[in-house]
Amino acid sequence: MNRTPSALKTNHPAIVLASTSPFRRELLGKLGLAFDVGAPDVDEQRHPHETPEQLVRRLAEAKAKAVARQHPDALVIGSDQVACIDEQILGKPGNRDRAIEQLSLASGKRVTFYTGLCLYNNRTDQARTSCELFHVHFRDLDKQQIERYLDREQPYNCAGSFKSEGLGIALFRRLEGDDPNTLIGLPLIRLISFLEAEGVQVP
């Protein structure tokens, strides 16, 4: 179990991030709270007829509860994200060829990211969940631009085949959403409201 220290002393329950993503860990670190990190063992297969919102809400809660088994008195944060173009869900590409396909499909279009968030109180068995949307409007991209980008960042483990916190920003024409952290994978504005409802004050 990894721990991110904080200089702040608190009386609230332990906080655990149910994710091994370095991006989510860095985002949560912005809040100045001490937290542990756990790896959720969850089947992420989409259920038949499940909408993107239903999928990310379910997986965020499942991840939080999976890690909560090891932390009986903790507040556990789960999150999941998918990208959609024209109702089609884009998963993590996994390899270069699939990433080229995804970015070619996104060229000149609006891609909607659905990010599920869950704060699970293992002491009270209460789960607070939400689905936050963020829209990315892509520039018109040719194959050479796409290949140059992929050669630089190799974002094969990222939904949508890009890293918005890196060079991926060069692929966009416009961003549209309430919380830019949502696009990276953890909606901090919504999470802060969930934490405050559980007695955790930020800041």
Domains of the chain, CATH where assigned? 2-197 (3.90.950.10)
Give the helix/strand (H/E) hosting 126: strand 126-138
Secondary structure (3-state) at 137: strand
pLDDT, residue 87, reads 79
How many Å apart are CA 136 and CA 48, to the nearest integer? 26
**173 in helix, strand or coil?**
strand
Smallest CA-to-CA distance from 79 within 136, 34, 118, 35 is with 118
Name residues whose C-beta falls within 8 Å of residue 92's C-beta, 6 or more positions apart in sequence.
156, 157, 158, 159
Average pLDDT along the chain: 91
As a whole number, mean pLDDT of residues 106-127 equals 96
pLDDT in tens, 9-32: 456 789 999 998 888 999 999 999
> Cβ distance 143 to 100 under 8 Å?
yes
Q: What is the mean pLDDT of residues 102-106?
A: 95
Half-sphere exposure at residue 45, Cβ-oriented, CA atoms within 13 angstroms:
3
pLDDT tens column, 141-184: 999 999 999 999 999 988 889 988 889 999 999 999 999 999 99
89-93, 108-112, 138-142, 145-149: the lowest-pLDDT one: 89-93
User: What is the C-alpha separation between 46 and 39, in angstroms, rounded?
Assistant: 20
What pTM was computed for the model?
0.87
CB–CB of 37/16 below 8 Å?
A: yes
Instruction: Give catalytic residues, as residue numbers.
Output: 80
CA nearest to 181, candidates 81, 99, 66: 81
What's the pLDDT score for residue 12?
75
73 DSSP 8-state letter: T
Determine the residue type at 7: A
Share of the chain above pLDDT 70, in %: 95
**pLDDT tens by residue, 182-193:** 999 999 999 999
HSE (side-chain half, CA atoms, 13 Å) at 47: 9
